[in-house]
Amino acid sequence: MSAVLPTAAFLYERVRRVIPPIEWPAFTDDIEAILALKCERKAVILAHNYQTPEIFHCVADIVGDSLALARKAMAIDADVIVLAGVHFMAETAKLLNPDKTVLISDLSAGCSLADSITAADVRLMRQRYPGVPVVTYVNTSAAVKAESDICCTSSNALAVVESLDVPRVIMLPDEYLAKNVAAKTDVEIIAWKGHCEVHERFNAEDIRELRETHPGVVVLAHPECPPEVVAEADFSGSTSAMSDYVGREKPKRVVLMTECSMSDNVAVAHPDVEFVRPCNLCPHMKRITLANIRAALEENRHVVTIDPRVATHARRAVERMLSI
**59 binds ligand SF4 per the rule CB under 6 A:** no
In 3D, which of 37, 107, 49 has the Cα closest to residue 288? 107
**177 binds ligand SF4 per the rule CB under 6 A:** no
Footprint (CB under 6 A) of ligand SF4, residues 126-155: 139
Kindly report the CA angle at 86 between 112 and 243, in degrees rounded to 5? 95
Q: How far from 38 is each of 1, 61, 97, 299, CA to CA, in Å? A: 8, 10, 18, 13
* Segment near ligand SF4 (CB under 6 A); pick from 9-17, 53-61, 149-157, 277-285: 277-285
Q: Which does 112 bind (CB under 5 to 8 A by kind): ligand 13P, ligand SF4, none?
A: ligand SF4
Footprint (CB under 6 A) of ligand 13P, residues 56-115: 65-67
Footprint (CB under 6 A) of ligand SF4, residues 63-102: 86
Q: Which does 66 bind (CB under 5 to 8 A by kind): ligand SF4, ligand 13P, none?
A: ligand 13P
Q: Which does 197 bind (CB under 5 to 8 A by kind): ligand 13P, ligand SF4, none?
A: ligand SF4
* Segment near ligand SF4 (CB under 6 A); pick from 32-40, 195-203, 246-254, 307-315: 195-203
Sorted by sequence, the CB contacts under 8 Å of residue 154 that are 6+ apart come out as 65, 66, 67, 137, 177, 222, 223, 224, 237, 238, 239
Give dist(CA 106, CA 90) in Å, integer.
11
In sequence order, what DSSP letters do the residues of 136-154 get, joined into one string? EESSS-HHHHHT-SEEE-T
**238 binds ligand 13P per the rule CB under 6 A:** yes
Number of residues that bind ligand 13P (CB under 6 A): 12
Q: How far is the CB of 75 from ligand SF4 (least distance, A)?
A: 24
**What single letter denotes the amino acid at residue 130?**
P
In what helix (H) or strand (E) does residue 53 lie, and over which residues does it extend? helix 53-56
Q: Which does 38 bind (CB under 5 to 8 A by kind): ligand 13P, ligand SF4, none?
A: none
CA atoms within 13 A on the CB side of 104: 22
Q: Which does 132 bind (CB under 5 to 8 A by kind): ligand SF4, ligand 13P, none?
A: none
Q: How far is the CB of 8 from ligand SF4 (least distance, A)?
A: 28
Number of residues that bind ligand SF4 (CB under 6 A): 13
Neighbours of 119 (CB within 10 A): 18
Q: How far is the CB of 224 from ligand 13P (least distance, A)?
A: 5
H helix runs in 74-217, sequence order: 87-96, 119-128, 142-146, 157-163, 175-182, 204-213
Q: Please say which residue, 48 or 94, places its beta carbon nearer to ligand 13P.
A: 48
218: three-class secondary structure by DSSP: strand
Backbone angles phi, psi at 134, to 5 degrees: -105, 120
In 3D, which of 178, 157, 149 has the Cα closest to residue 66? 157
Q: Please say which residue, 38 or 140, places its beta carbon nearer to ligand 13P.
A: 140
Q: How far from 300 is each of 80, 291, 297, CA to CA, in Å? A: 9, 14, 5
Pattern 122-141, ligand 13P, x by CB under 6 A: -----------------x--
Q: How far from 271 is each of 214, 234, 266, CA to CA, in Å? A: 18, 21, 9
User: Which positions lie near ligand SF4, rule CB under 6 A?
Assistant: 86, 111-113, 139, 196-198, 224, 259, 282, 284-285
| Interface positions with ligand 13P (CB under 6 A) | 49, 65-67, 139, 153-154, 196, 222, 224, 238-239
Q: Which residues are annotated as a binding site for [4Fe-4S] cluster?
A: 111, 196, 282
> Which residues carry a binding-site annotation?
48, 66, 111, 137-139, 154, 196, 222-224, 239, 282
